[in-house]
Structure 1
Amino acid sequence: MTDIVAAARDLTRVVDGVDWELARVRAAQDTLYAALDAGDGDKDGAFTVLLDRLSRSRVDDGDGVAHVAITAGALVEAGASARRLGDVLLPKLLPVLHAARRYADWCLGQLPPHGNGQDEEDLGETMADAALRVDDRPIPRDLFRAGMTDDRPGATSLYWLGQWTRPTVAALTRDRVLLQRAIADRELVAAARAVADAGAYWLDVLLGVELDQTWLVLCPLEGRGFRVEVDGIADNFTLHVLLADALGRFDIPTADNPPELFDFLRGIVDDCPRNHIVGSFNLYDFRAAASDVAEPSKVAQECWVWGEGNPRDVPHFEGVRTLVVGPPWGKRIIGSDRTFWSLPADVKVVDELTPEETQMILARAAASHPF
C-alpha cells in the first residue's frame, strides 16, 4: 500500500464517530499532503478512498468528515477530478448548510439583543473569546459548546462550514457542468445565502455567478446600446473592467489600462502586470435612464451598481439585466485581484443596437422608474 493511500485510509478512520481527535486528523492530513508533494504513490487511489468516505457521510453523525472533504479538495487543486468530487459533495452539502443555519439560529437566540449597551472593552473581550462569527455577531466559545449535547450535528456543521464549502468551490470553479447544476439548484443557492455570513461567503458568491447571460448596456451620452454576453463574472469590479475592455473595442471612451490586465482577469494568463486598474465608468441599473448620467451626483444612489456587489444584484428590465453607463465620478482605482482563479471570466459585445432601438429602450426604462 502506498503512503498516500495509507494516509487517506487513516484519515477516513480517525474522523469516524463523535469522539474523533483533531490532532490525529491533522497528523493524517500532514502525512497525505507530504506524500502528495513528494509524488509518492497512487494519488487517484487516495482520492477514491476519500470519496468513498464522503459518499457514506451523514450530517446526523456529527463526526469530522468535513476534514475528508477539504482534503479531497486539495487533491482536486493538485489535479484530481473536480467532477468526481462534485458529484459526491453536492448532495451532501445541502443538509450541512441547513444544519449550520439551525445551530447558528440557536446560538443567536441565546445572545442579548444586538447593541444592548455593550461597551467597547466588553465587546473586545467577547470577540477575543469567540468560537466564530455569525451574521456579524461573535459567538462566545462557552455558548457555542453549550448546545452541542442537544445538536452536535448542527454545531459541527457550523464550526467546520469552511471545510465543506472550500472544496465545493474548488470543484465548481473547475467544472462548468457542475457549476451550472449548482446554480440551477434554487434550494442550494438559498441555503448558501442563508449562511453566507457564517462561513459560506465564497460559496454564496460563486452561486451568484453569471454564466452565458445576455445583458443590455446603454450608453446614453453616446446614444448607443449593446447586447453583451456576461460569462463567469462573480463580482461587479470584474464586470466593470471587462465591460470597459469590451466597449472600448467599439470606440466607447474608456480609461487607459494595459491589455495584460484584461487577460489576467479573464484567466488567460496568471501574471498580473500591476496591482491596480483605472476605472472607466460609473455603472447604474436601468432606473438611471431617467437621470442625466453626465452628472453622477444627480443620479440617485439607489441606481448605482456598486463595485463591491455582485452581478445578481443588477435588476432586470423587460427580462434582461440592464446597465446604464456614465462617466466616472472622479478618478477611480480598482484592485486587480481575480475572484476565482480557476473560473474563466469574460464580457464581450454580441451586437450593437440601432440608435432608434437604444432611444426607445432608454425612454421605456425612464418611464418605468422616473426618479
Structure 2
Amino acid sequence: MAALLPAFPPIGPRPMLATAAGFCVERGADPVACAEPIIGSVHQDLLDALEFAHRWTATGAAEDELPEPDEKIIDDALLSRIGGDVYEATRLALAWCSVDKWQPPALAVLCRSAEVRRRHAFAILPACRDLAALERHDLKCLAYALAVLDDEPLVVLHRPTGTGFEVRIGGIGDNFQLHTLLAHVLVGGGHVPGTAPSAQSVLLATEPEPAQGRTQTIATGAFELRGQDGRQIWNEGLPDDIPVVEGRRLLVLDEPAYQRSWNADRFFPHLPGTADLTRVLTAEETRSWFDRTTPGNGIGPSS
C-alpha cells in the first residue's frame, strides 16, 4: 500500500491510503520499508500547502486571512484565485485542507525507527515548521517527531558544582523527558547533588514497550536548563532547541528558580528515550566549555 502512494492521483484520498499503510506498521509491518513513500508524500503535501498559502496571499488583499483547512472552501472562485490549471489548483487546495491527515501515518513510521528519522526527518522539518507558523494547522506532533535527536552527543555543564559531562541522547520527545533522564543520570548516578527522579518516572521515559494509557506519576524538576547564552531552555520545548556550540550541543544546568513538576508520561508512547553518560569531563575540559558560554550572563562555574 505504501508503494502505491507515488503513483496515486494527487487529487485522490492519498492520506487514507497512507493511513492504512501506517496502521499496518503499527501492527508490525517494517517501518523502514514503508517510510520512503509515506514520508515523501508528506513532504510533497507540506510543500504544496505552503504554495497554496503563498498564492492565496499574493492574489488577495493585505487583510485577507488564510482560509481554514476545510474541503468545503474549495469552489470555482478559490481555484481561480489560486491560479494555474484547475487540476494544479485543486491539488494545492487539497494539500492545504488535508495535510493534518498525514500525521498519523508519518508518526507510525517516525516513532518506530531511528533509521527512518535519520534518513528523512532533517529534510522535511523546515517545511513542517513553516506551515505550522501560519497557525492554520496543528502540526505539533509531526514537528516534534521530525525534530527527535538520535545518537546525539550533548555537553552538560552543572554550574553549581562546576562539573561537566558528556551525555549521549536519543529518542527523546520533549525536554520534560530529557530533564527526567538527565536527573536520573547525574543525580541518580551520584555525580551532582539533588533528589533523583522516581524509578517509575524513569521507567515511563525509557521503557521499550509502548506506554499503555496515561498514568498519575509525577516528575519533579532538578535543574534550570539554559543555553550557552544563558537563555532558558523550556521543558515544553525540544532537545533540538539546545544550541550547537563548536559542533556540540551545549546545555548548562543551574539550580531551579522554583519547584517544577509535571506528569511523567512521555510525549510519544511508542518512542523510548535514552540518555547515557559517556564520560565525566576533566576539570580542564569543563573550564574550556564554560569559557564558551557568554561572559557576564551568570552561567559560568560557581566560585
Q: TM-score, normalised by structure 1?
A: 0.69
1:238 pairs with 2:170:
no
Count, aligned residues: 285
Equivalent residue number for residue 83 of structure 2? none
1:194 is aligned with what amino acid? D
Bigger proportion of residues as helix: 1
Q: Aligned partners of 1:213, 1:200: CA distance in 2, in Å?
A: 24
1:176 pairs with 2:114:
yes
**Residues 261 and 65 (structure 1), Cα distance of their counterparts in 2 relative to 1, 3 Å cut:** same
Equivalent residue number for residue 279 of structure 2? 351
**Residues 52 and 233 (structure 1), Cα distance of their counterparts in 2 relative to 1, 3 Å cut:** closer
**Residues 364 and 164 (structure 1), Cα distance of their counterparts in 2 relative to 1, 3 Å cut:** closer
Deviations 1:300-333 (A, max 9, x none): xxx1101121122211122211111111111101
Q: Aligned partners of 2:61, 2:234: CA distance in 1, in Å?
A: 33
Equivalent residue number for residue 328 of structure 1? 256
Correspondence for 2:217 among 271, 275, 278: 275
* 1:345 to partner: Cα distance: 1.0
Deviations 1:164-196 (A, max 9, x none): 232011112112211110134x3x222222223
Kindly indicate whether the alpha-carbon contact (under 8 Å) linking 2:184 and 2:196 is maintained by their aligned counterparts in 1. Answer: no
**Residues 86 and 52 (structure 1), Cα distance of their counterparts in 2 relative to 1, 3 Å cut:** closer
Correspondence for 1:155 among 93, 97, 106: 93
Kindly indicate whether the alpha-carbon contact (under 8 Å) linking 1:98 and 1:191 is maintained by their aligned counterparts in 2. Answer: yes
* 1:146 to partner: Cα distance: 4.1
**Residues 350 and 250 (structure 1), Cα distance of their counterparts in 2 relative to 1, 3 Å cut:** farther
Deviations 1:119-154 (A, max 9, x none): xxxxxxx9xxx744xxxxxx8954888424641111
Equivalent residue number for residue 16 of structure 2? 67
Deviations 1:196-236 (A, max 9, x none): 34243322211111110111111121121000101112311
1:259 pairs with 2:221:
no
Bigger shift: 223-232 or 73-82?
73-82
1:91 is aligned with what amino acid? G
Kindly indicate whether the alpha-carbon contact (under 8 Å) linking 1:261 and 1:274 is maintained by their aligned counterparts in 2. Answer: no
Q: Aligned partners of 1:336, 1:92: CA distance in 2, in Å?
A: 34
**Residues 236 and 144 (structure 1), Cα distance of their counterparts in 2 relative to 1, 3 Å cut:** farther
Equivalent residue number for residue 8 of structure 2? 57
Equivalent residue number for residue 29 of structure 2? 80
* 1:239 to partner: Cα distance: 1.2
Structure 1 unaligned regions, length at least 5: 1-49, 116-125, 133-138, 289-302
Q: Aligned partners of 1:144, 1:175: CA distance in 2, in Å?
A: 40
**Residues 159 and 352 (structure 1), Cα distance of their counterparts in 2 relative to 1, 3 Å cut:** same
Kindly indicate whether the alpha-carbon contact (under 8 Å) linking 1:216 and 1:226 is maintained by their aligned counterparts in 2. Answer: yes
Bigger shift: 162-171 or 84-93?
84-93
Equivalent residue number for residue 218 of structure 1? 157
* 1:335 to partner: Cα distance: 2.4
Q: TM-score, normalised by structure 2?
A: 0.83
Kindly indicate whether the alpha-carbon contact (under 8 Å) linking 1:224 and 1:358 is maintained by their aligned counterparts in 2. Answer: yes
* 1:357 to partner: Cα distance: 2.1
Counterparts of 1:4-153 in structure 2, within 5 Å, are 50-59=1-10, 62-107=11-56, 110=60, 113=63, 131-132=68-69, 142=73, 146-148=77-79, 150=86, 151-153=89-91
1:204 is aligned with what amino acid? A
* 1:257 to partner: Cα distance: 2.9
* 1:157 to partner: Cα distance: 1.2
Identity of aligned residues (%): 25
Kindly indicate whether the alpha-carbon contact (under 8 Å) linking 1:172 and 1:179 is maintained by their aligned counterparts in 2. Answer: yes
Q: Aligned partners of 2:149, 2:76: CA distance in 1, in Å?
A: 39
Q: CA RMSD in A?
A: 2.8
Which aligned runs of 4 or more in structure 1 are off by greater than 6 angstroms? 368-371
Q: Aligned partners of 1:330, 1:222: CA distance in 2, in Å?
A: 19
